[in-house]
Amino acid sequence: MNAALQEKLAHLPTRPGVYIHRDAAGQVLYVGKAKNLRQRVRSYFQESRPRDGRLEALVRKIADVEVIVTDTEAEALILENNLIKQLKPRYNINLRDDKTYPYICIANERFPRVFPTRRVRKDGSKYFGPYTDVGQMHRLLRLIRSLFKLRTCNLNLSPEAIAAGKYQPCLEYHIKKCAAPCIGLQSEEDYNATIRQIEQLLNGKTQTLIAQLREEMKARAAALDFERAAELRDQIRLLEQHAERQKIVSQDFADRDVFALAVDRTDGVACGVVFQVREGKVIGRRHRYLRRIEGQRDGALLQAFVEDYYAEAVFFPDEVLLSHELEEPDALEALLRERRGKKVPLRVPQRGDKAGLVHLAEANARLLLEEWRLAQKKRGETRIPEAVRALQEALRLPGLPRRIECFDISHLGGTGTVASCVVFEDGRPSKRDYRTFKIRSVTPGKPDDYQAMREAVTRRYRRLRDEGGPWPDLVVIDGGKGQLSSALEALEALELRGQFPVIGLAKRLEEIYRPGDPDPYQLPKTSPALQLLQRIRNEAHRFAVTMQRRQRRRVLRSELLDIPGIGPRTVEKLLQHFGSARRVREADLEALAAVVGRARAERIRQHFDAASTSS
């Protein structure tokens, strides 16, 4: 231990907070929380403390400690969770979903929208999920649309805009799916009351919501508002049908979260599962895979999973059931008490219905762990071409570039600009994943490949970010430093720079450009890695040019149809005979007459000759 670290350990605060262990290079090794920072951090360096191999290796590397004090243990738990996700320390347990599951979002805005998303933003919106059963999520959204009148537009419904009469009611209003807050027909207070009911439904409080609606129905009927009373009656029926489909697991109608753990020490992975029980019915299940579990006891693994879950939760139950005793439950108990407003018991049931619930969750955890093993075995059996491995080594990539995406731009004199994105998986084209983009941000006649590249990259990865999908292991930009910089600017604006490696491949000398490197470098022409990059780049170019030619052909087809006396059948004959748009345009009068007759041929030739003269 160095002298500076010894001095810091001697003056650590005794308050709750978070500590960050760093190595000599400043890299974060581990993030932890403590009720008493001085006591916890100094315990790492006590010779009497038992250490396994993982802890011994960690302590040997610690060269500095940073601490952040908090007012409570609950705040320390939340801060620890956020820092682990941000810093990804090497020695912390790694929790992964293995998929990006969707959520239902209630947006933080006036007259909030309700919609599915795969990206959670810290913007004050409320997120419910994630839903491992996507079908269940869509059924729930359809139920919400059937029950409640909500807006689906993204208009800025500020008081000024509504008062100024900027908007007109849309089809959703006329088919009675929206109450038209955009023109002031629904107050913000009334709309927010609907949102509160939706939150109850999403939290599984179906019976509570039914009781509230039934009371309102009686009040409306007593006030002779029979139309509204009938609407409420229909809502209650739909909710009762929804409640009947949910599995009852306890008769006391309590709200519980049931956590269980399955561990495979051989493969170094564990699976945590939580059942969300609301009003005695299971409304959802969530799971996470835990990596870097060496030297961690089952109680510590389950604690990491439970704390991660509640750090992001929006609903807190009456009781938490566990398959294992947690090693240090104080911070979690403090968080639950603070968020729930009263003590939430943490129990490990040994018998009865509650133990049966835990055993059911454990069985699900074991099943998911077995599915994970089979998936890993299948991946391991998949043959990875040598060129892919060579590319990882040549570019010094952090992982195998099994999924590569490549962008290219094509236009004709600055008109009809299109971009292509081709996808290769394990060195082979995945044509079902190919995409093309009609570029809208470039002025026709003024070619701007840099802006076109920015638009294509923005549209591609904004959609992946918002809707979910597999991220690439490598992105290849067809072009040099300028095109690469444009792509990086687009990723920076999306807050995705660093999400995956990006390179530029310039065609003239086959130079490779990498972010941060001032000079390009070249691979040997015989290198399998370069040959793979060339094959991908050439495919992107072919696909872009094909799209651009199809677009020109459609333009010509439309232009031909504008000529008096030329109909769809004549256009079809021309294109079938000449084979391409360019050849139709360049054909002389005799060649055209042989296909469509002299009268039509003269009209076509006069049209193109006039267009050529005017240009």
Q: Across the chain, how many H-helices and E-strands are there?
A: 21, 20
User: pTM of the prediction?
Assistant: 0.50
Q: What is the mean pLDDT of residues 530-547?
A: 91
- Return the pLDDT at 58: 86
Confidence band (pLDDT; 50, 70, 90) for 561?
low
Q: What is the DSSP letter of 181?
A: G
- Return the pLDDT at 552: 61
540-544, 552-556, 581-585 — most confident range: 540-544
- Return the pLDDT at 429: 92
Beta strand 319-322 with 346-347: parallel, antiparallel or unpaired? parallel
- Return the pLDDT at 226: 85
More confident residue, 336 or 243: 336
- Return the pLDDT at 422: 95
Domains of the chain with CATH codes:
3-92 (3.40.1440.10), 256-379 (3.30.420.10), 388-549 (3.30.420.340), 562-614 (1.10.150)
Q: List pLDDT tens digits, range 365-387.
A: 998 888 888 777 766 555 678 89
Confidence band (pLDDT; 50, 70, 90) for 245?
low
Question: Mean of the per-residue pLDDT values for the chain?
Answer: 84
Residue type, 547: M
Q: Which of 507, 474, 502, 470 is nearest to 488 (CA)?
A: 502
Residue type, 494: L
CA 111 to chain centre: 24
Q: List pLDDT tens digits, range 293-318.
A: 887 889 999 999 999 999 888 788 98
Confidence band (pLDDT; 50, 70, 90) for 32?
very high
Confidence band (pLDDT; 50, 70, 90) for 519?
confident
CA 382 – CA 394 distance, rounded (Å) = 22
Q: Which range among 280-294, 445-459, 474-488, 554-568 shows the weakest confidence by mean pLDDT? A: 554-568
| Token pair belonging to 469 | 């999908």
- Please give the biggest Cα pair distance in the chain: 103
Per the document, the length of the chain is: 615
Q: Which range among 132-136, 199-203, 605-609 shows the weakest confidence by mean pLDDT? A: 132-136
**% the chain with pLDDT above 90:** 27
Q: Check whether 128 has a pLDDT greater than 90.
A: no
Confidence band (pLDDT; 50, 70, 90) for 19?
very high
368-377, 460-469, 497-506 — most confident range: 497-506
Q: Check whether 557 has a pLDDT greater than 70.
A: no
More confident residue, 580 or 198: 198
Burial class (CB within 10 angstroms; exposed 0-12, middle 13-18, buried 19+) of 588: exposed
Q: List pLDDT tens digits, range 400-419.
A: 899 999 999 987 666 678 89
Q: Which range among 138-142, 394-398, 555-559 shows the weakest confidence by mean pLDDT? A: 555-559
Q: List pLDDT tens digits, range 199-237.
A: 888 887 777 788 888 888 888 888 888 887 887 888 788
Task: Write down the residue that tokens 């739909």 correspond to.
Answer: 238
* Helix (H) / strand (E) containing 424: strand 415-425
Burial class (CB within 10 angstroms; exposed 0-12, middle 13-18, buried 19+) of 270: buried
- Return the pLDDT at 285: 80
- Return the pLDDT at 487: 94
Helices 589-596 and 598-614, axial angle in degrees (round to 10): 140
